[in-house]
Structure 1
Amino acid sequence: VNRRVQHYGYVFDYKTANVLRDRSSSGKEENGKSRGDCPPLPAMNVNVNDSHLTNEDVEEYIEKYTKDGRGWDVLAGLMERTRRIDFTSLPKNEQNEALDWSTCNFTTNDERGGGTPTTIIEKDGSSNDATIQNDMTTKVSTNSKQELTPKTTTTTTKSKKGTYPNINQCTLNEYAPGQGIGSHIDTISAFDDGLLSLSLGSGVVMEFRFQGSVETKKLVHLPPKSLLLMSKEARYEWEHYIVTRSTDTVEGVVKRREKRISLTFRTALQEEENKETKMGALSPPPSPMARVESCIFPPKWGIQKEDALQSILPKNNATDTTIITTTTNNNNNKNDHMTTPSTERDHVHAVYDAIATQWHHTRGKRGVLWPGATQFLKSLPKGSMVADVGCGDGKYFPAIWEAGSYVIGMDMSIPLLKTAVGSCHANAG
């Protein structure tokens, strides 16, 4: 593989063209690292004891964390949305208010029968429903609504037709301008039906070729912020690939490729057991692997069952689905990089809050500054914007203003920030 790749949930091994289902130490190589070790999937940071998460909750969650710039949480919401979409309900041959992946809207409509092998939900909200074997392209779309009261992560063990609720693996590919990928069908024994690819950055033309045929093919443009679904014949009978080239021609317009990020969502399956039972009947299809996910960011390698909360869902048609989740909502936040340790809160933040006034009288009010810092500020071009992160009582603000620059100050201590504001007013007076 000549591109940058990162797997989440489970590793897909390109050497064996299979999922590495063993995430534990028993699968270690000589260097001591497990071949199957990878970060977990992102989990929605919601109450794991509440099983009533609605589609509206998911949309509100995405909207909230999009505004907050929390990409890991946004991706968790997008994946949960994808698990819930009923692709058979998207109305054909009509344009409604659209499902817009750039602004994160989602809804489902009444189910209609059938379904198509390939569905592309475009950034403008329309869907490019490419029925490959008939070489047809039609437009479909849907509408939606949003808001937020986080509840819990849920899944469905029995898949409704046209939905893919057990998605448990994500592969992130970074394609440099001009890079492609060879013709292939994703390993049938490794992944269930329903391969979904979210395109970010540059658009690209993906080509589909009927297995074993050179002439029977279909070209599909994947715009930025579009979601591609490959199911049924498109999943099992058509190879897909991206030709290595620097440009694509779309409706007569030559488009230069830029860097493209592809997020592929799949359902990894357990290893297939005996093909036949003792009675000679075919054995049931493999069940989905457990979903391994975490709210922790940056994501951590090596999260195993013993480190996680486990939620075993009720049996449904003799199928168990386990969600292995680590979350910031439990009492053990020692591995959560987004949570301030209690030691720092109690013995650093609380102390600065208590001594804010005294600190200002002994530091900022007396003009006690580091010479190196003031020299740096004087070297900046006039009109510069300075971010003073951890500004405290704003003792460097006067030096920044004297250098002809502007300043934005921020600090964990509200009392220190109030002191800084008071100092600004005094200087202005």
Structure 2
Amino acid sequence: MKVVKKVIQSLLIIAALVFTLSDFPSVSLASSNEPERVSWADAQKAAAWQVITEVKTESDRSHWKDKRIKVAKPKEVYDPAGNLVAYLVDVVADNQPAGYVMVSAFLDDDPVLLWTDDGKSLNPEDEKMKGKLGANKDKVAKSEIVWLGGDMLVARYHLKDGTKRMVDLNGEDRLDTGNDAYPAPASQNVHARYRWGIMKKIGLGSPGESNPENGVTDVDPATWETNYQSISKGYIDTPVNQKQWEYAWVNGVAQWTGCSPTAGSNIMKYWADKGVAKRLNPTDNQQDIVMALRNTMGTYQKADGTGETNPYNISSGLEQYARNQGYSNAYSTSIYLANFADYVGEVNEGRPSLQSYWNQTYFKNHTVTVVGYKRFVRDWYQADSYYLVVRNNWKYEYTNNLYVKWGTWNTNMITKFWFVF
């Protein structure tokens, strides 16, 4: 098993390492303060981030490449002294075990400690693992994963008679020192907190899942929809899929471009690529379109760095941008409480549109680019199923097309863009 380590080889070595302030800016914590820990949900996002990064940078060698990936709910990892120090996140590729990622439990640690893209992780509750206790396997009061440093993870079993046993994956007993503690961060690590800030923005849950509760997935709904007579569908084949990015930093806070101008830039580049309106991409750089649309849409920054756009400024912003490039025949309008037929009409005319949500179950308040639709048509006495095909603009959303089940939101608005010739 290939294990890539971002950790030092033992607890003693970790304790001996010292970094200069120029390497890692930090602020001392009061001695009475407990080091700040991250939630298991954020640890799951960090594991997803590592998978995405590995696929992108090691695409020819990664076992995760071209697989449908899921990350499991993290398992807590303790040091020998019993302190929570990390989370172990199993990775599943095409429904098969595909390694794991171990994530620090501390906000001021490097988020990802080690990972591997094949094999299974240690699970103390696995019957095969417990079988290594022999006659004591039915006498376990509780169990936990313990990290001994490096890539050494063991299962510690607390038996009902008050004794403990520490067993590794090979079934060998390990000495339980009991008092060795991982050296928790003693100061704020600005670099680590920045990385955690990026990872916490990752959206998890639906991509890769069939028929998810939140209504958004990259799995074709035809794999679970049943009892339909036919499928009515349309799709605009275009590669445009611009992602948001941090265009500036203000007082240490990343300033994101915002979903509406980023999604809108896909429409402009689409028409430029078709040759209908080449001046809509005057610099041949889609990011320049995004920044110009920020101005015409009146996008502003919230305190957390999010780019915010008034939904009612989106259509006027698209139209004004096109007019600024010399296209007086460009028009845009928005329809509040749009229906499915509105999107179908645009796709059938070969025109990408925007969908803006209020309280969608996965996206929350967000704007995406609509490039297709699917309707599963049933007999008159059965309800049809409706899906839109969209491009999401979150930076760390690694999928291309997402299917959004119709009605999984409080409110939606369509923004159309077209030319009159």
* TM-score exceeds 0.5: no
Q: Which TM-score applies when normalising by structure 2? A: 0.22
More strand by share: 2
Q: Which TM-score applies when normalising by structure 1? A: 0.21
